Amino acid sequence: MKLTTRGRYAVTAMLDLALNGKQGPVSLAAISQRQEISLSYLEQLFAKLRKNELVASVRGPGGGYRLSRDSEQINVADIISAVNESTDSTSCQGKGDCQNGEACLTHQLWDDLSQQIHVFLSGISLANLTQRREVKVVSERQTRGGLEDAGMYSETLINAKALNL
């Protein structure tokens, strides 16, 4: 589980899709303008998102991309993994040497942590993020001052718990 600006671009684009794709497909050109990401780069990202069946494409005029399933059913870990698909696994996960050595122990500890992060991100869906924001916008209007991050954050925790975390 790697977390770089590349994944951020992908999540951002998918969030844009979730927000703007309610009435028909959204073109990459539109996302490119709104999110200030180069069109060609988006094309590359969406090629991977499509291979991983997170989005579906509609070609021709009026076409674009739409989420391949409900935003509740697409989580952040899915998106990040999709665009990062690469040649990783540098740890000694099966090497003959390094049997129960200290190195292997720490590598396993890292793998565990990595898995925890993955599970955590699996529990956060696109819908989850957009709903959270809507809740915040509403409550900001109500309180006329804006919530502090502490407040928003406890909201997050509640959601996380509801999602089995």
- Applying CB under 8 A, the span of 38-46, 53-61, 63-71, 130-138 interacting with a copy of itself comes to 130-138
- Is 106 an interacting residue with respect to DNA (CB under 7 A)? no
Partner that binds at residue 76, options DNA, a copy of itself, none, CB closer than 5 to 8 Å by kind? a copy of itself
Size of the site for a copy of itself (CB under 8 A): 47
Q: What is the contact mask toward a copy of itself in residues 69 to 98, using x (rule: CB under 8 A)? A: -------x-------------x--------
> For residues 3, 163, 49 and 51, what is the CA-based torsion angle, rounded to 10 degrees?
120
The interface with DNA within residues 71-90 (CB under 7 A) comprises: 84, 86-87
Two structure tokens written together for 87:
């040649």
Size of the site for DNA (CB under 7 A): 31
The phi, psi pair for 67, rounded to 5°, reads: -60, 140
- Rounded to whole angstroms, the Cα distance separating 39 from 155 reads 35
- Rounded to whole angstroms, the Cα distance separating 56 from 25 reads 9
Residues 10/79, Cβ–Cβ less than 8 Å: yes
Token look-up 């292997």 returns: 104
> Which residues lie below 8 Å from residue 77, measured CB to CB, with a gap of 6+?
1, 118, 119, 121, 122, 124
- Is 162 an interacting residue with respect to a copy of itself (CB under 8 A)? no
Angle at alpha carbon of residue 10, lines to 24 and 114, rounded to 5°? 135
Sites of contact with a copy of itself (CB under 8 A): 1-5, 8, 11-12, 15-16, 19-20, 34-36, 76, 90, 101-103, 105-110, 112-113, 115-117, 119-121, 124, 129-130, 132-133, 149, 152-153, 156-157, 160, 164-165
Sites of contact with DNA (CB under 7 A): 2, 4-6, 9, 25, 27-29, 37-41, 43-44, 46-47, 50, 57-65, 84, 86-87
